[in-house]
A and B are shown apart, each in its own frame.
Chain A
Amino acid sequence: MSPPDLLGAAILAALVLYALLGGADFGGGVWDLLASGPRRAEQRALVERALGPIWEANHVWLVLVVVVLFTGFPAAFAAISIELFVPLVLLLVGIVLRGAAFTFRTYDRPDDRVQARWGLVFSASSVLAPLALGVVVGALASGRLRVAAGGAEPFAWLAPFPLAVGLFAAALFAYLAATYLAVEAEGALRDDFRRRAAGAGLAVFGCALLAGALSWREAPVVFAGLTARGWSLPLHLGTGAAAVAAFAALFRGRVRAARAAAAIQVALIVLGWGASQHPYLVVPDLTLEAASAPRVTQVALLWALAGGGVLLFPALYALFRVFKGERPFAVVDRRRS
């Protein structure tokens, strides 16, 4: 693989991790918003407990994507920033309000009205951010952004397909979060999140159908990638198998297995998007190659990522090990002794 392809793969990998970790944190906010039933307060408390120690670290994946993009593919960063100005600003507003409100709620008075007010800001912005992020991804894939326009069409992204991808992202993150939270909950609370995971899984299916159907007309490059390449069928079979496995595990109460299957499903979806629009960063005007920084920069950046990764992953493992139990990423559901 050439340096541009390797860096593109690194960005895609960081996006997968951002979806699996940071995305699930936004999904937690969705479940705060949709908390209901007799255990409403416990559901919210679980979300808060689950996110508290880790959301800031999970958020950094997005910052890493941004810096790698502008270092390795500066032309794409500039073009994306210009053409997607509006949804990116909305994404930022969501990110700022989510993080700030979550922290303010933790450290503000424990009385219910104050907590409810911050909770509303936290959960509403947890919906706004994935919507905006999905719109950005959908717009990049759609072929609607013309780099030559140079900002003359600030609302080129406003079309059914990017909006459908926005909904898709929100549903995916909620689905992931519910499977994670089911692992961290116990008893009736666990059943709450098993049901929520199944419901969100159906929403994911619906959104996938919608976005897929719209892509036929609105995102032909991605549609062709998802249907006509050699890896298309295995990818869909793999994603489908993961989805079926996640559902089966949810119904049988094997929450760790369900969490792993859901994570694989989401990872395959993000990878499928990336692979289907390869070699484009911005369809149809900018390829990885065309947007590349000088080779020396890209090679240096790859080394920096490798070195940083060696430090980062053990530290991340330690974080999850401390707060998510002895087997933070376990797949097998052991019977309780």
Chain B
Amino acid sequence: MTDLLAARWLFGLSLVFHIVFAAVGVAMPLLMVLAEWRFRRSGSAVHLELARRWAKGTAILFAVGAVSGTVISFELGLLWPRFMAFAGPIIGMPFSLEGFAFFAEAIFLGIYLYGWDRVSPRVHLASGVAVAASGAASAFFVTLANAWMNAPAGFAMVAGAAADVRPFAAMFPPGWAEEVVHVLLSSYAATGFAVAGIHAALLLRHPGSAFHRAALGIALGVGGAAALLQPLSGDLSARSVAVNQPVKLAALEGQFETERGAPLRIGGLPDAERRETRWALEIPRGLSLLAFHDPDAEVKGLSAFPREEWPNTRLVHLAFQVMVGLGTLLAALSAGWLLLRLRRREPPRLFLRAVALAAPAGFLALEAGWLVTEWGRQPYAVRGVLTTAGAVTPVRSLAVPLVAFTLLYLFLGAVTAVLLRRQIVEAPGGAAAAGGGAP
């Protein structure tokens, strides 16, 4: 394994791991605050117990997210010092603001988790709202940095170096809004459906449990709303990618030749050697219609770009299919849930089973989407400006930290899973058992 590949694996692994906890850190506080809010309004003991249980889960997940996020902030330099030397002054601003958002999240989460009996109900709920808001702000700022890597702006290249830096122009590069909305919605959808799936499974086992029914209601409410909005956001994102990152669009759609009225390919396997995507279900003019809202629009194919600037078409296309497929599934489930709610019907067992099975779908879609944006930008770290190979550290033997962190993440992931499982298994089947904020 080359050191470049080891660096990519290590950074990719770190983000694949951290991104789960980051998304949970965005969405879980919202769920927990909604549960507490319901309790404060109705005095329902079930919702109080739910808020406390979810708060404990959030505590475990946030701690792992905080330390794994710290790893990433250091790894930016440890693995990609040339990227940071170049990009730091240009996109440091959103990272710095994210630092403050992280501060706020940690402070108010401390108050929320340990302050059940120390602050007034109103302050407690407000702390929870502050956690949820600063979690969303963190995701907002970090995604701005990623948007800049996809569509760098706010500087000029003079003799191989950045000049005329405008930090605030760099903070809002083309396509920033589309990407930020997409990321935020994905966090709510993935977390909402993961939580809903767990409680749906438990509801199947303990039918009539008020606790799990309340949990399902809030989790599917948040996750479902996000999943229903996500296709709209995806459409906006795709159109933004079509304009700002045509190579990525061509790769994720498996579009090799430039053509008018390009078809939408569902499934299939791109073959970069033969320059065609085989075995795909093609919907005539679908891609032109979706990407430009015009069935005859011209879509640039990969052939329009130098071969060395192509990403790995197979990986990008497949990851994109996975993301869209799972996203569509979640949107369909959400529509079903909406219909059930409108008719004021209890969810039938079949629906619960589907929600339980879909528990990991949101996170798989989120990971796939992140891989699409990262793989789809290769060979560049900063599109058109700095290649990933040019950004990597000169430090050798990166396989050593790769192995060490792989083991560390496996260990943390396994322990987190066991502890969460225990929290959930010990949850009351029906009656709300009294429990402390934190033991």
Give the interface of A toward B (CB within 8 A).
52-54, 56-57, 59-60, 62-64, 66-68, 70-72, 74-75, 77-82, 85, 88-89, 91-93, 95-100, 102-104, 106-110, 150-152, 154, 293-294, 296-297, 300-301, 304-305, 308, 311-312, 315-316, 318-319, 322-323
Contact = CB atoms under 8 A, between A and B. Distances in A.
A74 B85 contact: yes
B67, B89, B97, B439 pick with most chain A CB within 10 angstroms: B89
Interface stretch (B43-51, B164-172, B259-267, B327-335): B164-172
A53 B111 contact: yes
Interface of B: 56, 59-60, 62-64, 66-71, 73-74, 76-78, 81-82, 84-90, 92-93, 95-100, 102-104, 106-111, 113-115, 118-119, 165-168, 393-396, 401, 404, 408, 412, 415, 419, 422-423, 438-439
B393 A59 contact: no
A332 to B, nearest CB: 24
Contacts of A63: 69-70, 73, 99, 102
A21 B309 CA distance: 48
B110 A74 contact: no
17 contacts: A53-B110, A56-B109, A64-B103, A67-B99, A68-B99, A70-B76, A71-B95, A85-B393, A91-B74, A92-B74, A304-B93, A305-B96, A308-B99, A311-B104, A312-B104, A318-B111, A322-B118
B100 A311 contact: yes
A323 B81 contact: no
A308 B93 CA distance: 12
A151 B3 CA distance: 13
B438 A52 contact: yes
A100 B78 CA distance: 22
Contact of B439 (A82, A100, A110, A301): A110
B93 A71 contact: yes
Contacts of A85: 78, 393, 395
Nearest to B100: A308
B78 A89 contact: yes
Nearest to A305: B96
Given A72-B92, A103-B60, A151 B393 contact: yes
Nearest to B108: A315
B395 A74 contact: no
Contacts of A107: 56, 59-60, 419, 423, 439
A322 B111 contact: yes
B7 to A, nearest CB: 11
A323 B393 contact: no
Q: By CB atoms of chain B within 10 A, which of A60, A88, A102, A323 has the most?
A: A60
A297 B106 contact: no
Contacts of B165: 293-294, 296-297
Nearest to A64: B99
B395 A316 contact: no
Contacts of A311: 100, 104
B54 to A, nearest CB: 13
